[in-house]
Each structure stands twice: as structure tokens, then as C-alpha cells.
Structure 1
């Protein structure tokens, strides 16, 4: 899981672009038959910093 930031490049596009590199190995082709799903974790915002979690 990756913490979201607007400064990051498009990770999903990079993975799809280089998926053929993973598919050169038969084992990796079996594991990654479809492109992996990229999930982002929400970064802390001002409310998270100022308000207690209770």
C-alpha cells in the first residue's frame, strides 16, 4: 500500500507499462496473470493533526 501524494507519478500506469518484464518468467507470468491492483492510503490532513482520534 502506498501513501497518496500528488507528487508521485502514476504508479498504475508504470506497472502496466512494465508488466511484460514480469511476464518474461513463467513463474511470474503465473503469479501476475493480470496487472496488480494499486491501492493508496490516505495521507494525514489538517483535521487528523488537530483532532484527537478518540
Structure 2
């Protein structure tokens, strides 16, 4: 009963990646949106190595 309202035990909050070709924009993004689940990388979108499990 109430199975759809249960939270899976293995649920983990999502991680976020911010990528931009500009170091300046990455510095600004880190200053505005810091968090342990957010990573930033200076990278061209065409060269970005997506994690094995990603959602697009």
C-alpha cells in the first residue's frame, strides 16, 4: 500500500556539470553556484567527455 509514494533507498541527489570554453565564465559560475554536487570544467562542448551515465 502506498508503493508509489515510497522513495527508493538507493536514490541519490543528482550531480550537475557546468562546462564552458571560457575560464572567466567558469570562475563566475563557481562564485554564483557553488555546491558539492556541482562540478565545473573549462572545455569545448565538442571535446567534452560525457560521463558513462548521463542524461541529455
TM-score normalised to structure 2 length: 0.26
Larger Rg: 1
TM-score normalised to structure 1 length: 0.27
Which is helix-richer, 1 or 2? 1
Structure ranking higher on relative contact order (CA contacts 8 Å, 6+ apart): 1
Which is strand-richer, 1 or 2? 2
